C-alpha cells in the first residue's frame, strides 16, 4: 500500500457542548480550530493542541431535544472509551490539572513501562496522558 496516513482524530458525542468545550479548552489547553457555529454552544467542534486533535459532536441535534440531565446508562457506557495523549511530562500535566481544581490521583508507572495520568472528561470518557517511563 502506497498511501500515507497523516493523523487520526477521535470523535466523541457529548451531552453539553459548552461544558465539554470549556473542559478541553480551558482546562486541557486545546484551541477550537473549527466549529459549526459561533461561540461554545455549537453542534460540532474540532479542537487541537500541538499535534493532538479531538472532535466533539452533540448527542442531541437541538437543545430542545436534550434532557435536563445525562442518561446514567449512556454516561456509564463511556467508561470503556479512553483517549490516550502522548505527553513527555506527565508530572507537569498533573500539576496543571490540580491548579485548575481537578481532583485526581497522581501519575503511576504501569507494569508495561508507561507513566500514566488518568482522569475522566465531563461525559465520562477516559483521558490518559502517558509517556514511556524509561
Domains and CATH numbers, the chain: 8-63 (3.10.180.10), 78-134 (3.10.180.10)
When comparing pLDDT for 116 and 2, which is higher?
116
| pLDDT tens digits, one per residue of 64-80 | 777 888 888 888 888 89
Asked if 123 and 70 count as a contact pair (C-beta separation under 8 A), the reply is yes
Burial (CB < 10 A; 0-12, 13-18, 19+), residue 121, is: buried
When comparing pLDDT for 49 and 6, which is higher?
49
Q: What was the pLDDT predicted at 63?
A: 73
Asked if 121 and 129 count as a contact pair (C-beta separation under 8 A), the reply is no
Q: Can you give the pTM of this predicted structure?
A: 0.91
C-alpha dist (Å) from residue 25 to 48, 65, 88, 104, 112: 9, 25, 20, 19, 31
Distance CA 116, CA 20 (A): 22
* Residue 122 banded pLDDT, cuts 50, 70, 90: very high
Q: Report strand pairing: 126-132 vs 31-35.
A: unpaired
When comparing pLDDT for 79 and 44, which is higher?
44
22: left (phi over 0), alpha (psi -120 to 50) or beta: alpha
Half-sphere exposure of 32 (CA within 13 A, CB side): 22
Average pLDDT over residues 47-68: 88
Q: Mean pLDDT of all residues in the chain?
A: 93
Amino acid at each position: 500500500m502506497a498511501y500515507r496516513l497523516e493523523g487520526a482524530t477521535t470523535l466523541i458525542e457529548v451531552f453539553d457542548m459548552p461544558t465539554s468545550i470549556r473542559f478541553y479548552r480551558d482546562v486541557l489547553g486545546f484551541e477550537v480550530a473549527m466549529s459549526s457555529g459561533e461561540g461554545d454552544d455549537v453542534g460540532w467542534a474540532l479542537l487541537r493542541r500541538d499535534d493532538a486533535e479531538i472532535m466533539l459532536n452533540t448527542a442531541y441535534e437541538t437543545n430542545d431535544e436534550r434532557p435536563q440531565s445525562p442518561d446514567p446508562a449512556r454516561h456509564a457506557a463511556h467508561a470503556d472509551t479512553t483517549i490516550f495523549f502522548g505527553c513527555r511530562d506527565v508530572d507537569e500535566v498533573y500539576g496543571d490539572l490540580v491548579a485548575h481544581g481537578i481532583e485526581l490521583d497522581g501519575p503511576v508507572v504501569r507494569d508495561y513501562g508507561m507513566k500514566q495520568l488518568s482522569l475522566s472528561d465531563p461525559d465520562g470518557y477516559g483521558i490518559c496522558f502517558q509517556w514511556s517511563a524509561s
